[in-house]
Structure 1
């Protein structure tokens, strides 16, 4: 009876969460807290333990996520305001040429989405899509889909974007391994969902570039656009530092790197906190101060960046509360025991949970956090390496990308800026997102058998 009660508790939690977010339109932050509280009560937890679990879950999660997401938001804001995204796009288009422009746009999206949110990157770069479409007299989808695929893949798979950072913290995974595996999975996935699918769908849906959106100018126009090389180095720096730290840990554990001082130094520089602090300060100086921004402008841009970041931080913290309640109530342990007896691998279960939540309620972030919260107590019962856990994060990311439709804000954003109706958006954007999910998960599965 006790086991049935625990199982009923988790089913009740998921259904209630979906009801609160979808039907009652209560924000995911509040909904996750309500669900966590009620799961604790339904499963018979002592009230004082419920409160303690909620405090621990919030504090333990935000201690890491708030810092990374906050720094990443300011970093991305400086890139946006300086015109760095336009610089990347123009340089790659010049190098690749018009015939291979779709590949250049995919790479642009892939690079830009590392520090910049998907919707922001899309809005920054959409004037380039319009101009190319008018010049080449093609369907706008020929160029837009590759750009969107690059943005969406990186946004889902590669830290320091908020989704994988939040899941990594909940599942206790080193970001370095997620970055490495994310690139291995992400590049071929972006190619298939971007230039390959874009070429196909642009022949099926012919749409001219809308005229309602004038080209966006960088906030700082004094010195033109920053150089492509400068932007690339600034974006690559935190990724390289984080990956170097993960590699150093492997070498240290295998007694290949024996110098303790070198190991500690690399570990400090490669910690996400330090790496992003260094990169953010560098971006503020090179893309801000050096290009004519004054102190008031930089402060205003930083404040602007932390607005949307705050919402993500709070939802992530509430996801940490949900995870902790599942652990402390015993629901996670019970599910883990049943999973261990079944034939379903954790990586498949994680993907399916993320898929269900994503399709029903729309938010990729909520989908990732919910799936991570459910999986966190389960993976303690399996002997998973850091690489295995990184692949689990990517499986959740893939599941949270599937079937973007009318309950997802991204669906309406893309449809509006590309001048499409709902049916055309479903046939293009929604299918592209589903390709990313299915292809990405296929590569994750293949890697799980190889590594």
Structure 2
């Protein structure tokens, strides 16, 4: 029981340090790792070794992938590719299903672009469509926000799911994480859209303060500010070519060896490595550069990407350090035996992630910290198979979206840019993320009945 109390105290420390004392999650997780070492009586001279080994181990592979993915996202954002992607979806679906269209746009754009940035970029498009189709701005806002939120939480190369996969030993199985993540996130996006549809016919007054609600002509002006927009092929290629390569690599490495072990296998396995696949994606993203001095533009975008990736890399590394210390304690065996007797399985990582997310606000921190925490106990929970680990990432992702409220920056982005009152935002956005999280966990549990 003492082992569990120490763990609870560590989780409370992380929450209080990041919320009340405003300590950066990187330092909070490192401090938690150090405290865990002393509390669990790890030999004093070995604590720092475990911290540094865990920090370097997770970043040695996942770090480059996170950096490449972030740089690609910055280039897509600055080039207007996100606008192209959105308009392509509108052309395909038309305007018959406005909330479904917004949900799909958010779902696609948030795979490479952070959901906060994606919402800001697409806000004027969303408002213009709402005005043109005479649909409630609230309904369209929730549909866009939940679509963005779904893929942001479940689908690599978004940093949070990548970090969680790395902590759970899935570096070479990212293709499987992507495939399962695409399915689970699609279900949760539809759940968010279902909730958004409740607001279609409601006349809810908007706040006076906040971003102006753009009409079609304002959207056109914003669109023109990007200059000539890239074609749909160029816009989608930096996302879907790497995802396709990673999935092919996973296929080639299946135990049955479906393509044999010759030249084709070597090519597929090499290109399917996430680092190589994202490097190909970065090369394709370079075709979106459009200034006269492309070398300087590329340099500037790389600098922006590195600056955006730095805190995520540090948090990810610190989560790896925390997990490395927990792995050498008796906590895993004790908790695994206790929890396996309770039979809650995948619901344990979901509940821990949901508690962390609701308490401190960051989805990425919840993904990283929870995956580091549950990694030592996967064997005892019966989740140490490859698919068990993949579904654990999904369960953590479902918890990490439950719920977005006032301590989450995304909540305020949606609130301010949609001009919702805080009370309306809790009914619309926060409730939508609760429904998404519960739906995501139900989907993961049903998958576990089939796949485990």
Could you say which TM-score interval applies, normalised by the shorter chain?
over 0.9
Contact 1:149 1:193 in 2 (8 A): yes
Q: What runs of 5+ residues in structure 2 fail to find an aligned partner? A: none
* Residues 87-131 of structure 1, C-alpha deviations (whole Å, 9 max, x = no match): 111222233222223222211111111111101111111110121
Q: What runs of 5+ residues in structure 1 fail to find an aligned partner? A: none
Contact 1:138 1:208 in 2 (8 A): no
Contact 1:177 1:386 in 2 (8 A): no
1:139 matched to 2:136: yes
Residues 266 and 427 (structure 1 numbering): CA distance in 2 closer, same or farther, change over 3 Å? same
Distance in 2 between the 1:410 and 1:255 partners? Answer: 43
**Normalising by the residue count of structure 2, what TM-score does the alignment of the two structures yield?**
0.93
1:262 to 261, 264, 269: 264
Matching of residues 330-369 of structure 1 within 5 Å: 330-345=330-345, 347-369=346-368
Distance in 2 between the 1:142 and 1:255 partners? Answer: 47
Q: CA deviation at 1:73?
A: 0.9
* Residues 360-386 of structure 1, C-alpha deviations (whole Å, 9 max, x = no match): 111111111121111100013436322
Residues 100 and 330 (structure 1 numbering): CA distance in 2 closer, same or farther, change over 3 Å? same
SS of the residue corresponding to residue 201 of structure 2 reads helix
Q: CA deviation at 1:431?
A: 1.1
Contact 1:133 1:208 in 2 (8 A): no
Contact 2:357 2:400 in 1 (8 A): yes
1:24 matched to 2:21: yes
Q: CA deviation at 1:148?
A: 1.4
Which residue of structure 1 aligns with residue 150 of structure 2?
A: 153
SS of the residue corresponding to residue 241 of structure 2 reads helix
* Residues 223-282 of structure 1, C-alpha deviations (whole Å, 9 max, x = no match): x111123322332101100111111111xx225432333222211100100000011011
Q: CA deviation at 1:208?
A: 5.7
1:249 matched to 2:250: no
Distance in 2 between the 1:132 and 1:71 partners? Answer: 33
1:182 matched to 2:184: no
Residues 255 and 298 (structure 1 numbering): CA distance in 2 closer, same or farther, change over 3 Å? closer
Residues 279 and 255 (structure 1 numbering): CA distance in 2 closer, same or farther, change over 3 Å? closer
Which residue of structure 2 aligns with residue 191 of structure 1?
A: 190
SS of the residue corresponding to residue 97 of structure 2 reads helix
Which residue of structure 2 aligns with residue 302 of structure 1?
A: 302
1:126 matched to 2:127: no
Structure 1 residue runs of 4+, over 4 Å off? 207-210, 212-215, 217-220
Distance in 1 between the 2:412 and 2:29 partners? Answer: 25
SS of the residue corresponding to residue 86 of structure 2 reads helix
Q: CA deviation at 1:6?
A: 2.6
Which residue of structure 2 aligns with residue 287 of structure 1?
A: 288
Q: CA deviation at 1:23?
A: 1.5
Distance in 1 between the 2:261 and 2:17 partners? Answer: 54
Residues 117 and 171 (structure 1 numbering): CA distance in 2 closer, same or farther, change over 3 Å? same
Distance in 2 between the 1:8 and 1:93 partners? Answer: 52
Distance in 1 between the 2:95 and 2:383 partners? Answer: 50
Matching of residues 220-231 of structure 1 within 5 Å: 221=227, 224-231=228-235
Q: CA deviation at 1:390?
A: 0.9
Residues 218 and 399 (structure 1 numbering): CA distance in 2 closer, same or farther, change over 3 Å? farther
Contact 1:141 1:201 in 2 (8 A): yes
SS of the residue corresponding to residue 196 of structure 2 reads helix
* Residues 123-176 of structure 1, C-alpha deviations (whole Å, 9 max, x = no match): 111110121222233321232222112111000011110111000000012211
Residues 205 and 245 (structure 1 numbering): CA distance in 2 closer, same or farther, change over 3 Å? farther
Contact 2:353 2:367 in 1 (8 A): yes
SS of the residue corresponding to residue 175 of structure 2 reads helix
Q: CA deviation at 1:65?
A: 2.3
Distance in 1 between the 2:384 and 2:329 partners? Answer: 23
Which residue of structure 1 aligns with residue 59 of structure 2?
A: 62
Which residue of structure 1 aligns with residue 244 of structure 2?
A: 240
Contact 1:83 1:218 in 2 (8 A): no
Q: CA deviation at 1:212?
A: 6.6
2:5 to 8, 27, 31: 8
Which residue of structure 1 aligns with residue 396 of structure 2?
A: 396
1:106 matched to 2:107: no
Which residue of structure 2 aligns with residue 201 of structure 1?
A: 199
Q: Which moved more, 1:412-421 or 1:199-208?
A: 199-208
Contact 1:82 1:218 in 2 (8 A): no
Distance in 1 between the 2:119 and 2:400 partners? Answer: 19
Q: CA deviation at 1:449?
A: 0.5
Distance in 1 between the 2:32 and 2:259 partners? Answer: 47
Residues 255 and 117 (structure 1 numbering): CA distance in 2 closer, same or farther, change over 3 Å? closer
Distance in 2 between the 1:218 and 1:242 partners? Answer: 35
Residues 86 and 292 (structure 1 numbering): CA distance in 2 closer, same or farther, change over 3 Å? farther
Contact 1:75 1:283 in 2 (8 A): yes
